[in-house]
Copies of this chain bind each other. A is one copy, B any other.
Amino acid sequence: MKKNIVDLQGKLNALLHSYRDSFVEGAVADYIPALASVEPDFAGIAVATIDGKTVGAGDYQHAFSIQSISKIFGLVMAMNRLGDSLWQRVRMEPSGQPFNSIIQLEWEKGIPRNPVINAGALLVADVLTSHYSASKLAFLGFVRKLANNEDIRVDLDVYQSEFTHGNRNAALAYLMKSFGNIEAEIPDVLSHYFTQCSIAMSCEQLAQSLLFLANKGIDPLTKQVICSPKDAHRVNAILSTSGMYDQSGEFAFSVGLPAKSGVGGGLIAIVPNYGVICTWSPPLNSFGNSVVGMKLVEGIAEELGLSIYH
């Protein structure tokens, strides 16, 4: 790879200038009121590198609802806690289905296809709820440690909104429970899941907090081991095949980085041995991915030659 970063700041500024207005092609998530009311024209990008630098442009320090990006943190916690037995309860295959499909969950008898579709993330939430005495606090503590920031918090408006509109997630959870694949009580599992989805973070914080995935499991700033090198590899593999919902193949095809998006408009991409890119722009395409975010990540990956498939 040839990450010739002469003027990263200049490139980020230029990319943001080129693409920030394409947000009009998408639509802000409207399944919960708390997200529907976000201004559509926010746009930010941050790049954190494993040598300890972070560069950003636009609204890269403005906190937003991380939503499904939280699935990465939960997955790492569950891998650390359960070890390989986790993979008896959730697979690691792309789904070929929308993120919240209940059909596939029925076919596969309550075993979610992977931990970054909703069913899989609910399974992970069950693991955390069952194995921590206070899983929400533990989750928030883990994120704060990774971001090295004690001010990160849960947006309670979003949390309430999620709960009020969480019937499909409840259906997924009860279906898994009917197959014996959920241990805790469903309301507790949902409460944990909606809590982690409702955490608010900025591009800068997200990029920094995920650097361990670009660095074989070690936080490059604190040198702490966050997970094993093998598990960092596994998370990157899962994000590469499944992180962008039913557009994961297209993202691999056109960009070529492990990535995860959230319906709050956030998008993170891991660049092994280099760093993490995080973008934020609320309007989403029909797959649930940020329109501007995808263009920004594609642009920076192409300019810097970051793809893992070259």
Contact = CB atoms under 8 A, between A and B. Distances in A.
Interface in A244-258: 246-250, 252-254, 256, 258
Contact of A95 (B96, B167, B178): B96
Interface string A201-226: 00000000000000010000000000
B236 A241 contact: no
Interface string A266-310: 000000110000000000000000000000000000000001111
Q: Categorize the interface residue count of chain A.
A: 35 or more
Contact of A94 (B174, B248, B309): B248
Contact of A174 (B97, B114, B167): B167
Contact of A102 (B97, B102, B177): B102
Given A167-B175, A171-B174, A171-B175, A249 B256 contact: no
Contact of A241 (B103, B177, B178, B241): B241
B272 A237 contact: no
Interface in A104-130: 104, 106-107, 113-114
Interface string A152-169: 000000000000000110
A190 to B, nearest CB: 10
Nearest to A287: B93
A91 interface: yes
Contact of A307 (B101, B107, B233, B256): B233
Contacts of A234: 253-254, 309
Where chain A touches its partner, the secondary structure class is helix
Given A93-B96, A168-B174, A258-B309, 7 more contacts: A92-B249, A94-B241, A94-B249, A114-B249, A242-B249, A272-B308, A272-B309
30 contacts: A91-B250, A93-B96, A93-B246, A93-B247, A93-B248, A94-B241, A94-B249, A95-B96, A96-B97, A96-B104, A103-B106, A167-B174, A167-B175, A167-B177, A168-B178, A170-B170, A171-B173, A171-B178, A174-B174, A232-B310, A233-B256, A233-B309, A237-B249, A238-B249, A238-B252, A240-B241, A240-B309, A241-B249, A241-B252, A308-B309
3 closest Cβ contacts across the A-B interface? A96-B96, A94-B94, A93-B249
